[in-house]
Structure 1
Amino acid sequence: MKVRALGNQGLVVSELGLGCMGMSEFYGATDETESIATIHRALELGINFLDTADMYGPYTNEQLVGKAIRDRRDKVVLATKFGIVRSEDRGFRGVNGSPEYVRSSCEASLERLGVEVIDLYYLHRVDPKVPIEETVGAMAELVQAGKVRFIGLSEAAPQTLRRAQRVHPISALQSEYSLWSRDVEDEILPTLRELGIGFVPYSPLGRGFLSGSITSPDDFAPDDYRRQSPRFQGENFTKNLQLVEKVRELATQKGVQPSQLALAWILAQGEDLVPIPGTKRVAYLEENVAATEIVLAPEELASIEAIAPRGAASGQRYADMSGVNR
């Protein structure tokens, strides 16, 4: 497994990370034993970049990741997030970027994870009620206190990134990016490259759609988040399925899986990108890792561009887009 740098502050991680969210929530039934086995297998295969957040579960995903890495902390670059406030009954209460909440969230995450320092600490969503300078200032204090090594933002707009960068170096931005979510290419990616900030694409497989394994909305469990996602509903689902079929055709020509083609495409977009496909199963993890060996020729990249240009997906990323890119 090759490595890539995120930002200019010294953060170096495996070129592919592992998103752990689905191990605890949002994508149907969970299995802690299989999830921990998946994390351990990822480390064996050279993935050292694990991504979690306090709101996954809520709270239980950090505990699971902490349990999985307890005896192998030195092999892990650990990323977690704060800022999305949830209740114990799994409801959403909003966003909080206040300095007090920054500090209390960090202490709680350190305890749940069972670690002394968080390698990469993200603001999960920008709080419109709190100046970004105040939030990042409090995060910078955590760095100075030795509780956090590097800091990042998630779903932040270009101007927010610029303001944050003036307070403390931002090592990474995490936002959605895949063959069917390419809006970051317009302004966000150029801004990141201008400022020297790394990019961590989440949902690089389009929440599993680009794997080619989803053929009907009925494939989802009743509590699966995707049942409420605009791109997985009605006419949008049908149109997006046609896009996936085109990806599948190219993948077949290449002799790889659709998911592997989609990941290889992301990896080819720049050395400053580190995608974090999520999975809770060893088999899918191994399939994803194999994508790092795929080399796409210029003509193959052109073919992918032809079938999945910007705006190719039907429907918005979220039912409510007000919380992203702000």
Structure 2
Amino acid sequence: MKKRQLGTSDLYVSEIGLGCMSLGTDQLRAESVINAALEEGINYFDTADLYDFGKNEEIVGLALKNVRDQVIIATKAGNRWTEAKDSWTWDPSKEYIKEAIKQSLKRLNTDYIDLYQLHGGTIEDNIEQTIEAFEELKTEGFIRHYGISSIRPNVIREYIDKSNIVSVMMQYSILDRRPEEEALPLLQENRIGVVTRGTVAKGLLSDFMLNKASQSIKKNGYLDYSFDELQEMLPVLKEKLASSRSLADVAIQYNLAQPAVASVVAGASSPEQIKENARAANSQPLTEEEIKLIRSLTKANKYDQHR
């Protein structure tokens, strides 16, 4: 599988990364998915201390223990579970981040994390203090690089101006084109890599399309699209662009057509899904005409909050 440089860092990530949140808590089942990913040439594994109360990090660390020097492990911090573990609170403080990484390193069974990410962020945060924490962790050798996971334009701009982030993780898809006008050009200009999530838009951009739509989507639609609009538009997308390949292939290639995008992080709960995702990344790139067609059929959504 092809690899792309993540920003200006020395990390070269596979065009498909494995989003580990959907692995579940069964070690053997999770290892079968991770091993399938390794076989397909996937080297980028994205987890977070929030997932399954830290169990996800333990599973990922154990599964990758024997290939640690061949893979890129990304995890996140900033959300604290309450004592009852029924909700979490936001804490981007220096003190908390420097404590959280100790626990993540222990669970991941590793001495360092390749990419440590802030799991969110608001403009009200003490951003300078958060950056200080990441910079110290880098100097101390606990992390190789750091980034943020955010779709908030005002937060992204602050980190671009004030920090040495190498990446931003954000939701981006054919149905969520909000990053296109503002975020992607800005990040590309500043040579900061983009890692995308939500590429198949809750399954709407798969061959299932609306067959597995949640009750919420049936009632409220998806982002700027009503359910009626989705019913009208998705079959047209499939007919015009996915006659000889899956709609998920088209969705993933749409993300990879963006020069700012380094990797598409896709979840998988079975080896079969890994193979499908890998096939999509290795499929034919979209032509300029196909990209124009997609943009003519879909909405150029814009961020209207967190300005």
Cα shift readout 1:203-223 (whole Å, capped 9, x = no counterpart): 11112221132534xx48xxx
Paired residue for 1:258, among 201, 224, 247?
A: 247
Counterpart for residue 187 of structure 1: 182
How far 1:127 moved relative to its partner? 4.3
Count of residue pairs brought into register by the alignment = 302
Amino acid corresponding to residue 275 of structure 2 in structure 1: E
- The change in CA–CA distance for 1:247 and 1:34 in structure 2 (over 3 A counts) is farther
Shift of residue 234, structure 1, vs aligned partner = 4.6
- Which segment drifts farther, 274-283 or 293-302? 293-302
Q: 2:61–2:107: 8 Å Cα contact kept in structure 1? A: yes
Cα deviation code 1:259-310 (max 9, x no counterpart): 1111011111225431111111111211111122322222222222222232
Amino acid at match of 2:156: L
Equivalent residue, structure 2, for 1:78? 73
The letter of the residue matching 1:83 is G
Residue 126 of structure 1 and its aligned partner are, at CA, apart by 0.6
Query: Which residue pairs with 1:21 in the alignment?
Result: 21
Q: Which amino acid in the other structure matches residue 19 of structure 2?
A: G
Contact 2:13 2:262 in 1 (8 A): no
Deviation at 1:88, TM superposition (A): 6.0
Residues 203 and 209 in structure 2, CA contact (< 8 A), matched pair in contact too: yes
Letter in 2 for 1:6: L
Write the letter of the residue equivalent to 2:42. I
Corresponding residue for residue 289 of structure 2: 299
Structure 2 gap segments, 5+ residues each: none
Q: Give me the identity figure in percent.
A: 32
Normalising by structure 2, what TM-score? Answer: 0.89
Task: Judge which range, 156-165 or 131-140, deviates more.
Answer: 156-165
Q: Which amino acid in 2 is paired with 1:169?
A: N
Q: Please list every run of 5 or more consecutive structure 1 residues that lacks an aligned counterpart in the other structure.
A: 25-29, 221-225
- Distance (Å, rounded) in 1 between the aligned partners of 2:105 and 2:234: 40
Q: Cα offset for 1:170? A: 0.7
1:78-106 Cα shifts (integer Å, max 9, x gaps): 00001122236553332110001110111
The answer for the alignment partner of 1:27 in structure 2 is none
Q: 1:143 matched to which residue of 2?
A: 138
Q: Please tell me the residue identity of whatever aligns with 1:267.
A: L
3-state SS, counterpart of residue 120 of structure 1: strand
C-alpha distance in 1, partners of 2:98/2:261?
A: 29
Matches within 5 A, 1:19-98: 19-24=19-24, 31-87=26-82, 90-98=85-93
Deviation of the 1:3 alpha carbon: 1.0
1:287 aligns with 2:276: yes
Judge which range, 151-160 or 284-293, deviates more: 151-160
For residue 76 of structure 1, what is the amino acid of its counterpart? V
Q: What does residue 247 of structure 1 align with?
A: 237
Deviation per residue, 1:88-133 (Å, 9 max, x gap): 6553332110001110111111111111100000001114543211
135 and 294 in structure 1: CA distance in 2 versus 1, 3 angstrom threshold: same
Equivalent residue, structure 2, for 1:111: 106
Contact 1:205 1:262 in 2 (8 A): yes
1:2 equivalent to 2:7? Answer no
Rounded to whole Å, the distance in 2 between the matches of 1:284 and 1:202 is 16
**CA–CA distance in structure 2, aligned partners of residues 88 and 42 of structure 1:** 35
Deviates more, 1:286-295 or 1:108-117: 286-295
Corresponding letter in the other structure for 1:50: F
Instruction: State the Cα distance separating 1:245 from its structure 2 match.
Output: 2.2
2:300 alignment partner AA:
R
C-alpha distance 252-156 of structure 1, shift in aligned 2 (>3 A): closer
Q: Which segment drifts farther, 149-158 or 109-118?
A: 149-158
How many angstroms does 1:190 deviate by?
2.0
Pairing 1:267–2:256 present: yes
Q: Conserved in 2, the CA contact under 8 Å of 1:96 and 1:127?
A: no
Q: State the Cα distance separating 1:47 from its structure 2 match.
A: 0.7
Deviates more, 1:158-167 or 1:185-194: 158-167
Does the Cα contact within 8 Å between 2:184 and 2:260 map onto a contact in 1? Answer: no
Give the partner amino acid of 2:118.
L
Task: Go from structure 1 to structure 2 and tell me whether the alpha carbon gap of 1:63 and 1:197 turns closer, same or farther (over 3 Å shift).
Answer: same
